[in-house]
Amino acid sequence: ASALSFLTLSAYATFYATFDSFVFLIPNLIIGVLAIAVGTSYVLFDLLAPMARRAGYRTWLGKIVLVAAVALLAVMPITSAVRNWGNQDLSNDVAARDYARLVFATVEPDAIVLAATDQRLFPLWYQRYAADSGSEVTVVARNLLQFDWYVDSLRRRHPGLVPAGLSGDFATVLLGFAAEHVGKRPVYSTFIDDILNRSYLLVPVGPVFKVEPIDTGL
């Protein structure tokens, strides 16, 4: 059953076409730990323990068997820790925190920031709702504007932010959202947005791009 679950989850994660599908492999880690535990128990109690008993626990051979058993149990986690510690230790990785702080220091206090990708959106959400909960900066998940549930949540949290009757395909919704606010509030994007770039200027300002109306007065 465990093997079937392992194979099923692996196949699902492999063929599920999203960039973060690897998270579905997390249950496989649990299955793998259980398999290691069963194997370790077999080696320790079914193989090494009988050898130690036959040799006598107090004899030099018995002691060697016990030391070998402990070493066998310890070698895998110790080796894994030594090899991977540098990659797993993120205590000095403050890039996400510094990015969010820089964005909030760059934009106006009442700005709207249209963010895309987890690497940009999640630090900004944390900065807005945890680290600087008193801020008036509005962080909007640009790619989620195509979903009614997210638009509804924005309307509940920020009344008046999303205009009534805003509907259509994603490009229409995004451009309609921008049209509602550009010129009234500072609007920024975390990247060069191809859709916004059709109708607006995207002016680099520090780590973000300010969405400005195109001057047609010539």
Please report the pLDDT score of residue 184 as a whole number. 94
Residues 100-135 have pLDDT tens digits of 999 999 999 999 999 998 899 999 999 999 999 899
∠ CA 26-30-36 to the nearest 5 degrees?
Answer: 135
Contact criterion met (CB below 8 Å) for 124 and 100: yes
Q: Where are the domains of the chain?
A: 2-88, 95-213
Q: Are strands 208-213 and 187-189 parallel, antiparallel or unpaired?
A: antiparallel
Instruction: Name the stretches of the chain with pLDDT < 70.
Output: 1, 17-19, 48-49, 52-62, 65, 216-218
Q: What is the dihedral of CA 204, 192, 199, 152, to 10 degrees?
A: -110
Please report the pLDDT score of residue 67 as a whole number. 77
Please report the pLDDT score of residue 71 as a whole number. 80
Q: How many CA atoms lie within 13 A of 79 on its CB side?
A: 6
Residues 146-155 have pLDDT tens digits of 999 999 999 9
Distance CA 79, CA 109 (A): 49
